Amino acid sequence: MSANIRSASLEDYHEVKQVLTGKREDTIVRIDREPGALCIFKGCHSLHRVSSVVGDQLRIMGVFVYEFSPGSGGDPKVNAIIYGPRTLAN
């Protein structure tokens, strides 16, 4: 993970490219986890990836989203990607 490499006002595609092409290894943080671990980070501003689920153990993922305006909701297509297609039915 490259934490907080982007911001709401700057996507910083140049820096993202540097990380993805291996030229900014110094910004990458690797977190070793054990079953039951909880990781909290600002995903919208941090480059990150999720490892594949292997085996019979179920992975539970929680996504915390904070909006500035009451009653705001995410884009339905994005919600379907994160939470599953059942969210499109509502």
Q: What is the mean pLDDT of each run of 10 residues along the chain (90 residues)?
A: 80 89 86 81 80 78 76 80 66
pLDDT score recorded for residue 48: 83
Q: Give the number of other Cβ atoms within 10 Å of residue 76's Cβ.
A: 11
pLDDT score recorded for residue 44: 79
* Domain boundaries along the sequence of the chain: 1-90
pLDDT score recorded for residue 83: 76
pLDDT score recorded for residue 21: 92
pLDDT score recorded for residue 58: 76
CB 48 within 8 A of CB 6: no
How many whole angstroms separate alpha carbon 37 and alpha carbon 59? Answer: 11
How many whole angstroms separate alpha carbon 71 and alpha carbon 83? Answer: 18
Q: Is the dihedral of CA 65, 38, 20, 12 positive or negative?
A: positive
